[in-house]
Amino acid sequence: MTKNVNETDVAQNEFPKQEQPEPGLQKKMTPVPDDGSTSYIGHGRLKNKKALITGGDSGIGRAVAIAYAHEGADVVLNYLPAEEEDAQDVKNIVTNLGRRIALVPGDLRQETFSQQLVAQAVSFFGDFDILVLVAGKQHAVFDIEDLSTDQLVDTYTTNVFSLVWLIKAALPHLNKAGSIITTSSVQAKKPLPYLVDYASTKAAIRNITESLAKQLAPRNIRVNCVAPGPIWTPFQIAGGQPQEKVPELGKNTAMGRPGQPAEVAGAYVYLASGDATYVTGETIHVAGG
């Protein structure tokens, strides 16, 4: 769990226009997102569990990795080579919490690498308990006539195809009562007009989650999903949002602000924990209302 967020401080935080080349670095954002390294309080709910996490260098994936370490898990993190600086920060945090961590940079758009990632995870800590799929691509395009085939293929390959490849590779190595957690979005149901490709992949992920939950339940493997809303991550400033919309991020939610990655991580902890042994095929929305 996380400590209570000081709502006054959050409301007063400014999220100024800022831009980085894709995929973006968390440590260069203003303000730097809360990854839970100092705010998350663990209770041993994942003691000695082993988790493979994609997109773990920054944003939600980073917060999940840190929360899992706080809860007693060892982790293998995947991320793009350009995100090495952020990934090294996560490694230091997890190591200081007394947990084991391996960093495996690489591009999930390559099926062979997705298979190698699982193999390296197994080499590091043997068969594992939790597969968390967070890595994704989001790039705003206002006019579908400007949506290139290259971007369309990249978005679907990153968000959907790699998810299937990784699950296929991981299944023989998931321990009894294993947990697979995917990442959808509020965009799956309420898509913005400039996220045609991204939003449709998130709807596909939710559908895949529900199908696989039924398919894998007889094997005692649970498959669930987290659907975040507007969360302050490098996604937002590396092409995911138009620059003029960055200061307005999250203001249309009931809470009137964007969420922090640390505020999402608890959902991933719950779904991986013994508290959720009768939960499968479900989607938890963390979207500010």
User: In the chain, what are the domains?
Assistant: 46-286 (3.40.50.720)
Do residues 258 and 250 lie in contact, with contact meaning Cβ atoms separated by under 8 Å?
A: yes
pLDDT band at 1, cuts 50/70/90? low
How far apart (Å, rounded) are the C-alpha atoms in residues 146 and 130? Answer: 38
Over residues 186-191, the mean pLDDT reads 94
CB < 8 Å & 24+ apart, contacts of 197-201: 197/139, 197/141, 197/147, 197/151, 197/152, 197/155, 197/156, 198/136, 198/137, 198/138, 198/139, 198/155, 198/159, 198/240, 201/136, 201/155, 201/156, 201/159, 201/160
- Whole-angstrom CA distances from 25 to 226, 258, 276 are 23, 18, 33
Length of the chain: 289
Q: Given a cut of 90, is residue 131 above it in pLDDT? A: yes
For residue 101, the cross-strand partners are: 75
Q: What is the pLDDT of the chain when averaged over all its residues?
A: 92
| 283: number of Cβ within 10 Å | 17
pLDDT band at 124, cuts 50/70/90? very high
Burial class (CB in 10 A: 0-12, 13-18, 19+), 161: middle
Supply 97's token pair.
Answer: 């919490």
Looking at residue 277, the DSSP 8-state letter turns out to be T
Over residues 249-274, the mean pLDDT reads 95
Which ranges of the chain would DSSP assign to H, the alpha helix?
A: 7-12, 59-70, 84-96, 111-125, 149-156, 162-170, 196-216, 234-235, 261-272
Catalytic residues: 198
Please state the pTM of the whole predicted model: 0.92
Q: Given a cut of 60, is residue 39 above it in pLDDT? A: yes
- Whole-angstrom CA distances from 122 to 57, 74, 129, 169 are 20, 12, 11, 11
pLDDT band at 13, cuts 50/70/90? low
Q: Given a cut of 90, is residue 187 above it in pLDDT? A: yes
Residue 11 is predicted with a pLDDT of 40
Helix (H) / strand (E) containing 188: none
Looking at residue 74, the DSSP 8-state letter turns out to be E
| 173: number of Cβ within 10 Å | 17
